[in-house]
Amino acid sequence: MLSRTAENMFWMGRYMERADATARLIEMGYRMAMLPGSNELEEWRSVAAASGSAPDIAEATRLNAGSVVQRLLLDPDNPSSIRSCLTSARANGRAIRTALTQDMWEALNDGWRSLGQMDAETALKNLPSLLEWTKNRTAAFRGASEISLLRNDGYFFLRMGGLIERADMTLRLLDVKYYVLLPETDVVGGGRDYHQWTSVLRATSALRAYHHVYKGDYTPWGIADFLILNATFPRSVSYCYRAIKRFLDDLGELYGENSAPQLIAGEMVDRLDTLEIEELFQSGLHQFISDAIDTTRQLSHEISKAYHF
Amino acid sequence: MYNEMFSDDRSVRGPYEKVAEWISAAGVDLLKLRQSEAEAIFRKIGITFAVYGEGGDPERLIPFDLIPRVFGASEWRKLSRGIKQRSRALNAFLYDVYHRGEILRAGIIPEELVYQNEAFLPEMIGVDPPGRVYSHIVGVDIVRTDGDKFQVLEDNCRTPSGVSYMLENREIMMRMFPQLFHAGIVESVDSYPSMLKKTLEEVAPIKCDDDPTVVLLTPGSLNSAYYEHSFLADLMGIELVEPQDLFIDNGLCWMRTTRGPQRVDVIYRRIDDTYIDPLAFKADSLLGVPGLFSVYRSGGVTLCSAPGAGVADDKAIYVFVPDMIKFYLGEKPILENVQTWRCSAPDDCKYVLENLKDLVVKRVHGSGGYGMLIGPHATKKEVDAFRAKIKANPSEFIAQPTLDLSTAPILGEAGIEDRHVDFRPYCLVGKEIRLTPGGLTRVALKKGSLVVNSSQGGGVKDTWILAD
Please give the average per-residue pLDDT across B364-388, as a whole number: 81
- Of B221, B241, B244, which is closest to A94 when you measure between CB atoms? B221
**Chain A closest-CA separation from residue B463 CA (Å):** 24
Rounded to 10 degrees, what is the CA torsion of B131, B136, B141, B146? 50
pLDDT of B54 reads 44
State which H helix or E strand residue A127 sits in: helix A127-148
Q: Does domain B339-401 have CATH number 3.30.1490.270?
A: yes
What is the separation of C-alpha B60 from the centre of its chain, rounded to a whole number of angstroms?
A: 20
pLDDT digits (tens, 9 = 90+) for B269-314: 999 888 899 888 887 777 889 999 999 999 999 999 999 999 999 8
Say if CB B276 and CB B269 are below 8 A apart: yes
Alpha-carbon distance A260 to nearest alpha carbon in chain B (angstroms): 14
Cβ(B426)–Cβ(B157) below 8 Å: no
Q: What is the pLDDT of residue B457?
A: 75
Residues of chain B with CATH 3.30.1490.270: 339-401
> What pLDDT, on the 0 to 100 scale, is given for residue A57?
77
CA distances from A243 to A240, B379, B405, B438 (A): 5, 70, 63, 48
Residue B167 has what pLDDT?
Answer: 94
Residues of chain A under the 70 pLDDT cut: 37-38, 179-194, 216
Tally C-beta pairs within 8 A across A and B. 62
Contacts of A271 (CB under 8 A, 6+ apart): none
Q: How many residues does chain A have?
A: 309
**How does strand B426-429 pair with strand B440-444?**
unpaired
Instruction: Give the one of B46, B234, B258 whose C-beta lies nearest to A308's C-beta.
Output: B258
Q: Do A98 and B239 touch (CB under 8 A)?
A: yes
CB count within 10 Å of CB A256 equals 7
- Is the predicted pLDDT of residue B51 greater than 60, yes or no? no
Alpha-carbon span A163 to A29, nearest angstrom: 23
pLDDT in tens, B316-368: 899 999 999 999 999 999 999 999 999 988 999 999 999 999 999 988 876 55
Backbone CA torsion sign across B350, B355, B356, B361: negative
Distance CA B110, CA B132 (A): 23
Domain ranges (residues) in chain A: 1-149, 151-309
Is the interface score ipTM higher than 0.85?
Answer: no
DSSP code at position B61 = P
CA closest to A99 among chain B residues: B234
Alpha-carbon gap: A13 to the closest alpha carbon of chain B (Å): 17
Which residues of A have a CB under 8 Å from any CB of B?
Answer: 1-6, 91, 94-98, 102, 105-106, 109-110, 153, 157, 255, 307-309
Q: What percentage of chain B carries pLDDT values higher than 70?
A: 96
Among positive and negative, which fits the CA dihedral B331, B332, B333, B334? negative
State the burial class of residue B8 (Cβ atoms within 10 Å of its Cβ: 0-12, 13-18, 19+).
exposed
Q: What's chain B's Rg over C-alpha atoms?
A: 22
What are B326-330's contacts with CB under 8 Å, separation 24+?
B327/B102, B327/B103, B327/B106, B327/B108, B328/B88, B328/B89, B328/B92, B328/B93, B328/B96, B328/B103, B329/B85, B329/B88, B329/B89, B329/B92
| Mutation choice for B interface testing from A98, A105, A141, A153 by most B CBs within 10 A | A98
Q: What is the pLDDT of residues B241-268, one digit of tens each?
A: 999 999 999 999 999 999 999 999 999 9
Question: Which candidate from A3, A106, A153 shows the least CB-CB separation from B256?
Answer: A3
Give mean pLDDT, residues B35-61. Answer: 68
Contact in structure between B153 and B142 (CB atoms under 8 Å): yes
CB B71 within 8 A of CB B463: yes
The string over A264-295, giving b where at least 16 C-beta atoms fall within 10 Å of a residue's C-beta and e elsewhere, is bbbebbeebeebebeebbeeebeebbeebbeb
Q: How far apart are CA A44 and CA A58, in angstroms?
A: 8
DSSP A237: H
- Residue-level pLDDT at A234: 95
Alpha helices in B27-148 (DSSP H): 28-45, 73-97, 102-105, 111-115
Q: What is the DSSP letter of B279?
A: T
Provide the 10 A C-beta neighbour count for residue A240.
27
Q: Which residues of B touch A96 (CB under 8 A)?
A: 240
> What is B12-28 written as a DSSP string?
BPGGGHHHHHHHHHH-H
Q: Do A94 and B226 touch (CB under 8 A)?
A: yes
Residue contact A4–B45, C-beta within 8 A: no
Helix axes A3-34, A153-181, angle to 10 degrees: 30
SS3 call for B110: coil
Q: For residue B52, what pLDDT band results from cuts at 50, 70 and 90?
A: very low
Q: How many other C-beta atoms can be found within 10 angstroms of the C-beta atom of residue B468? A: 9
Rounded to whole angstroms, how far apart are CA atoms A59 and A65?
15
Q: What is the pLDDT of residue A183?
A: 40
Q: CA-CA distance, A56 to A45, in Å (whole number)? A: 10
* Chain A residues lying within 8 Å of B231, measured CB to CB: 97
Q: What is the pLDDT of residue A185?
A: 44
Helix (H, G, I), strand (E, B) or coil at A299: helix
What angle, 0 to 180 degrees and rounded to 10, lies between the N-to-C axes of helices B226-236 and B163-176? 70
**Is a pLDDT exceeding 50 seen at residue B393?**
yes
**Separation of alpha carbons A2 and A97, rounded Å:** 13
Closest to B461 in 3D by CA, of B428, B418, B432: B418
Backbone angles phi, psi at B426, to 5 degrees: -120, 110
